Amino acid sequence: MYCISLALRLRIEISKVGKRERERERKRDCDVLCSRVDMRIRDHVVLGGRLAIIGNDLYITARATNCKVSQVKITVFVLEAALLLHLSTTTLTLNYTRVVHTTLGPIRGLVNVVGDKTVNVFWGIPFAKPPTGPRRFKHPEPPEPWSEVKDTVTKPNSCFQSIDTSFGQFQGVQAWIPKTPLSEDCLYLNVWVPQGFSTPPRATMVWIYGGSFSSGASTLDIYDGSKLAATENVIVVSLNYRVGSLGFLYTGNDDAPGNQGLMDQTMALKWVHDNVGFFGGSKDTITIFGESAGAGSVGLHLLSPLSNGFFSRAIMESGGPLNIWAVQPRTLAIERGKKLASLLGCPSKFSRLMLHCLQLANVQTITDTMEYLSDDLVVLGPVVDSYFLPREPKDLIASGEIKDTEVIIGVNKDEGIYFLLYIFPEGFPLSNEGVLSFSDFKEVVKALNFRGDNKTDSAIISEYYDNVLPSQRESLRDIVDDISGDDFFKCDIVDFANEYAKNHDVYLYSFEHQLSNLAWPKWTGVMHGYEIEAVFGLPQEYNYTIEDESVSSRMMSYWTRFAQRGNPNHDTITWPKLTSEGLEYLRSPERAIRSEVGFVINSAASGGAFFRFCAVD
């Protein structure tokens, strides 16, 4: 049934391409479709020799016709027919892995071929009880053990969340929307293991997704760990955690203790620590890595006495524990919790009666109501709960109460533009580059209310606008991108990196290569989240350029070498540690890739210009 539904989805994707855009999108879309026909069917499911030959013949025919839409349609239709005929006469056989005996019970997954490598994939391993009924808004509880072999071969549910409809079916947004059913029963993790024994045991990399603590899923295609595991010989794990009010409602007491999503992550990390040895890994080389809110989570795990013993190293992509959105004031969290209860018709005074009412409320209604609480970047998020997070991050860091290890942390060149597309769609239209007038520029700065201070707004306008040459003032859009990117992400990341580097090894980077096969228009630059495809190796598999493949290969190598030994360096290039003498960081400019270096090192002078907002006060 998987193959049939895949073929149907391919047909639907083709039908959605309008007449006007068919010619423009033909080459890219058809390449992707052909790749899916070739790889997804033949790599993931054992169909039998004759059917594989049919699929291969059709794939070759489609390529020979320059991947015409009509030929792809024929390929899909014939494969559908062949699949139906095959399924009517034989039983579909899955290629199972060996049974792995975990601390909770035995499991088996699926064997997946990735190029010339083989990876064992385990989808949907439970690490906690379903947080439903009386467990809603509570910290997670360990699951019940089992004795029979559990087949972990199906992608798990995604945790309940609102679905972004701002840009319709635009692929740039659709890539971040969960494709598995939304459910409160969502606390599962996934594991990718290269086949074969390894001496010494393999390093493990645990991915924590972003999404403003209100969305995300471990099963997104962009987070598929197959390529990273196969290419770099590491174990890759991804986990689900609760988001929105289900993951971060805080009442100031045990009714809804807050940080439920972070406690989900902690329980998953404990499972990895306790079980990775059964998969050929070592509990002494576990690296957690994440992006945006996922990176913020990683930074908070460095500070938490509950979780920092379950991993060895950390990688933070576009986020950290000091970002303005990483931790929410308790008073604000409590206020929004009361407002949520009131909007749902529940008692707004915190009590067992209010909790009981919220636990009985329809989960979809709860999720839909979240949008009325605030339009902040993070509506409900982590708090200082005196349990997972004992004190404010800056105080814990200042007193040295932080994990003693090595970290990679960094940013993307155009961090702000993604959010400006949502906040000011009239000034940042998706269809064209858009031009801001000076009056629009000032209004945007005031509306964003940087640091909640009018003096700061004036300083920003002076720093960013007054120093721009008249001939350059049409680039105000880019200036607003710089301001918001610095404020939301870069300044606080640099502050954390500098502080942590006083006593630890820190490797700071700036990702500045725009991948060629992404859906967003070129003028959006190197947006928030753009590095993820390179980290997970998607350019190695799909229709990207040689330069993209080179960047991806470098990033996978840096990330995994760091996970294995705490130092990302290799023979061909030196990535310096961050020092107190000046801001040194690894930069990945677009044009440098042609030298096949992939990254170049820039001096502190470049860094000073790159983070202008950090000096504004």
Q: How does pLDDT run across 11-63, given as a tens digit for each residue?
A: 334 344 343 344 444 444 444 444 444 433 333 333 333 343 344 434 434 43
Q: What stretch of H or E contains 281?
A: strand 281-291
- Phi (first) and psi of residue 409, to 5 degrees: -145, 145
Q: Which of 226, 245, 292, 318 is catalytic?
A: 292
Rounded to an integer, the average pLDDT of 500-516 is: 92
Confidence tier at 504 by pLDDT (50, 70, 90)? very high
pLDDT of residue 122: 99
Torsion sign over Cα 135, 140, 146, 151? positive
Q: How far apart are CA 12 and CA 215, in angstroms?
A: 25
Rounded to an integer, the average pLDDT of 141-155 is: 98
Cis amide bond preceding 200, omega within 30 = yes
For the segment 94-140, what is each residue's pLDDT rounded down to a tens digit? 899 999 999 999 999 999 999 999 999 999 999 999 999 999 999 99
528 is an active site residue: yes
By DSSP bridging, strand 150-151 and strand 100-101 are unpaired
Q: Which of 291, 415, 512, 547 is catalytic?
A: 415
Cα 534 to chain centroid distance, Å, stands at 12
For the segment 62-95, what is each residue's pLDDT rounded down to a tens digit? 434 444 445 445 555 555 555 555 444 444 578 9
Nearest to 246 by CA among 139, 141, 373: 139
Q: How far apart are CA 460 and CA 455, in angstroms?
A: 9
Write the CA distances from 186 to 84, 124, 239, integer angstroms: 32, 9, 10
Model pTM above 0.95: no
For the segment 211-228, what is each residue's pLDDT rounded down to a tens digit? 999 999 999 999 999 999
CATH class of 411-610: alpha beta
Confidence tier at 423 by pLDDT (50, 70, 90)? confident
> Which of 42-51, 237-246, 434-443 is the least confident region?
42-51
pLDDT of residue 449: 66
By DSSP bridging, strand 235-239 and strand 202-208 are parallel
Q: Which residue's structure tokens are 């004992």?
A: 390
- Contact call for residues 207 and 218 (beta carbons, < 8 A): yes
Q: What stretch of H or E contains 113?
A: strand 110-114
Pick the CATH number of 100-330+381-405 from 3.40.50.720, 3.40.50.1820, 2.60.120.380, 3.10.450.50: 3.40.50.1820
> Which of 114-123, 257-266, 452-461, 518-527 is the least confident region?
452-461
Q: Is 371 exposed, middle or buried (0-12, 13-18, 19+ CB in 10 A)?
A: exposed
Q: Is 113 exposed, middle or buried (0-12, 13-18, 19+ CB in 10 A)?
A: middle
Nearest to 497 by CA among 361, 319, 338: 319
Residue 400: pLDDT above 70? yes
- Which one has a higher pLDDT value, 343 or 584? 343
Q: How far apart are CA 391 and CA 303, in angstroms?
A: 9
For the segment 536-593, what is each residue's pLDDT rounded down to a tens digit? 999 887 789 999 999 999 999 999 999 999 999 987 667 888 876 655 555 554 333 2
pLDDT of residue 162: 93
Cα 23 to chain centroid distance, Å, stands at 32
Residue 494: pLDDT above 70? yes
Which residues, 6+ apart, have CB-to-CB distance to 43 below 8 Å? 112, 113, 114
Rounded to an integer, the average pLDDT of 399-414 is: 96
* DSSP state string for 515-571: -TT-SS-GGG-SBTTTHHHHHTTGGGTSS--HHHHHHHHHHHHHHHHHHHHS---BT
pLDDT of residue 107: 99
101 is an active site residue: no
Q: How far apart are CA 194 and CA 537, in angstroms?
A: 15
